[in-house]
Amino acid sequence: SQAHHQLHVIFFPFMAQGHLIPSIDMAKLFASKGSKVTILTTSYFTPFLSKKIENSAQIDIFNIRVPAAEVGLPEGIDSAHAVGTPEMMEKFFKACGKLGPQLDQILERHRPVCLVADMFFPWATDVAAKFGIPTLLFPGTCYFALCGSRSVFLHEPHKKVSSDLEPFILPNFPDQVEFTASRVPHFMRHDDSTELTKLFKAMTEVEFKSYGVLVNSFYELEPAYADHYRKVLGRKAWNIGPLFLYNKGSNSDEHECLKWLDSKKPNSVVYVSFGSMANFDDEQLKEIATGLEASGQQFVWVVKKEKKEGVKEEWLPEGFEERIKGKGLIIRGWAPQVPILEHEAVGGFVTHCGWNSTQESVCAGVPMVTWPIAAEQFFNEKLVTQILRVGVEVGAKKWKRLVGDFVKRDAIDRAVSRVMEGEEAEEMRSRVKRLAEMARSAVKEGGSSVLDLNALFDDLKSAHYSSYENLH
């Protein structure tokens, strides 16, 4: 019967917004192709997730529990956002590594046709293999960063220079791209025995064991890197992004900042936000405030700090909020990022280069000021500034998880002005607008991402039917 042949796919994203958001888009996409989908997540994300899936009959949520106390974290910590320090982050990854038994039970009970597991859970491939279930890996980043991190990890160019800031060229890489040891994440350095170093090693190995890799990017954005990853590095991969473009228009609550933007001229506001993880200290926040004010540009700035009535906020310069009235808007907490970037008043984006933010900016046709902090963000910066030439660097040079490299007000002022005004800004804007059009074509009937997705589904169906026939 039909029901027998409905594909059931289980998604197992890492517990952070930057991984969950594209996974929800992917789950909806799979559901739109007739699959039944289950998303595994923790209670921290359940309300957010329920809202996003809007009672879809084809999508279920299944709660898992991170064994935080077993690794010495406070009981109940079940998201990367609840983690305040790099040390806690190590422990959080360690706790995630203990989710195997829960996954085992779920897979045994549900026997999905495949598991889409976050690349941060490389061990999940072995768990699924026990039941003959193929695993698709979701790395949450672009081909460029995948190739870049493999280049560094496999060839260790950072060990052949005499200082952390001495440039080297990324080896076995399609373009001549300069990088420095200071930008290399510590877990790619082979020189420590942290949880993440072991994890990263496992991540580079599991690419060969799994069924393949799902990349949230589109071919036309980075053709040399899509080809390099598949043909030279020999990984099996499908580019099926930009995922968020498949699901636009849903959940669009009118946020007050969108009304504020309505009153502004096209390309006259810079949007400043550093994703869901970054955690700048007061000194850096104050420097950003001063730099933005000095630039003279209008801005929307997302600050992940709650306002406490009657308490003086150290990071806010004296009289700042008064002075910027009408000109700048501070959003506390969660901002509707995609609608903001797509608003015609927004002409630039100061970003930490998280892959989702970067791709959202490209799709909205908005040039960037790149301010990478951690993870693979320094690679994404190079893609934006050197390969695509749709952004300028603010000048952050050091990989530093959660807190970033300190950037001074003058550098902020200069980079913001460069991206908002003048000929260079216009050139970047027209280049990024062409990329935005290519992104839209990629997810249309006959587009590169749609073709890759169809090919993946054909593969999955034939794998499913052959195992179905074996069973009966």
Residue 364 interacts with ligand UDP (CB under 6 A): yes or no: no
Q: How many CB atoms lie within 10 A of CB 121?
A: 26
Q: Considering the complex, state which of residue 218 and residue 355 has its C-beta at the smaller distance from ligand UDP.
A: 355
Q: Considering the complex, state which of residue 135 and residue 273 has its C-beta at the smaller distance from ligand UDP.
A: 273
User: How is residue 351 written in tokens?
Assistant: 């970003």
Residue 334 interacts with ligand UDP (CB under 6 A): yes or no: yes
Q: How many CB atoms lie within 10 A of CB 316?
A: 17
Q: Give which of 390, 391, 453 is closest to 241, Cα–Cα.
A: 453
Shortest Å, Cβ 225 to ligand UDP: 18
Q: How far apart are CA 18 and CA 29, in angstroms?
A: 17
User: How is residue 460 written in tokens?
Assistant: 């999955």
Catalytic residue check, 452: no
* Active-site residue, from 25, 60, 104, 118: 118
The residue with its CB nearest to ligand UDP is 18
Residue 146 interacts with ligand UDP (CB under 6 A): yes or no: no
- Coil/strand/helix, residue 184: coil
Which of 134, 139, 275, 365 is close enough to bind ligand UDP by CB under 6 A?
275
Residue 216 interacts with ligand UDP (CB under 6 A): yes or no: no
Shortest Å, Cβ 352 to ligand UDP: 6
Q: Considering the complex, state which of residue 258 and residue 451 has its C-beta at the smaller distance from ligand UDP.
A: 258
User: How is residue 100 written in tokens?
Assistant: 């195997």
Residue 276 interacts with ligand UDP (CB under 6 A): yes or no: yes
Shortest Å, Cβ 354 to ligand UDP: 2
Shortest Å, Cβ 161 to ligand UDP: 28
Whether the ω angle into residue 122 lies within 30 degrees of 0, i.e. cis, is no
User: How is residue 99 written in tokens?
Assistant: 């989710």
Q: Give which of 445, 41, 102 is closest to 246, Cα–Cα.
A: 445
User: How is residue 453 written in tokens?
Assistant: 């997705």
Residue 26 interacts with ligand UDP (CB under 6 A): yes or no: no
**Which region, judged by CB under 6 A, interacts with ligand UDP, from 226-234, 273-281, 287-295, 433-441?**
273-281
Number of C-alpha atoms within 13 angstroms, CB side, residue 22? 26
Q: How far apart are CA 55 and CA 438, in angstroms?
A: 32
Residue 354 interacts with ligand UDP (CB under 6 A): yes or no: yes
Number of C-alpha atoms within 13 angstroms, CB side, residue 241? 31
Q: Considering the complex, state which of residue 79 and residue 417 has its C-beta at the smaller distance from ligand UDP.
A: 79
Judged by CB under 6 A, the number of residues near ligand UDP is: 18
Shortest Å, Cβ 252 to ligand UDP: 12
Residue 357 interacts with ligand UDP (CB under 6 A): yes or no: yes
- Secondary structure letter of residue 211 according to DSSP: S
**Which region, judged by CB under 6 A, interacts with ligand UDP, from 115-123, 235-243, 274-282, 447-455?**
274-282
For 208, counting Cβ atoms within 10 Å of its Cβ (0-12 exposed, 13-18 middle, 19+ buried), the class is exposed
Shortest Å, Cβ 373 to ligand UDP: 8
Residue 360 interacts with ligand UDP (CB under 6 A): yes or no: yes
**Which region, judged by CB under 6 A, interacts with ligand UDP, from 104-112, 191-199, 309-317, 351-359?**
351-359
Q: How far apart are CA 402 and CA 275, in angstroms?
A: 11
Q: What is the CA radius of gyration of the chain?
A: 22
Q: Considering the complex, state which of residue 120 and residue 229 has its C-beta at the smaller distance from ligand UDP.
A: 120
Residue 18 interacts with ligand UDP (CB under 6 A): yes or no: yes
Instruction: Find how far residue 139's CA is from the centre of its chain.
Output: 9
User: How is residue 316 written in tokens?
Assistant: 């806010």
Residue window 299-318: x/- pattern of binding to ligand UDP, with contact defined by CB under 6 A: ---x----------------
Q: How far apart are CA 281 and CA 285, in angstroms?
A: 6
- Coil/strand/helix, residue 246: helix
**Which region, judged by CB under 6 A, interacts with ligand UDP, from 16-24, 46-54, 61-69, 318-326?**
16-24
Catalytic residue check, 118: yes
Shortest Å, Cβ 380 to ligand UDP: 9
Residue 89 interacts with ligand UDP (CB under 6 A): yes or no: no
Q: H helices within 332-376, ranges in order?
A: 337-342, 355-363
345-355 burial by CB neighbour count: b if 16+ within 10 A, else e?
Answer: bbbbbbbbbbb
Active site residues: 19, 118
Residues that bind ligand UDP in the complex, under the rule CB under 6 A: 16-18, 21, 273, 275-277, 302, 334-335, 337-338, 354-357, 360
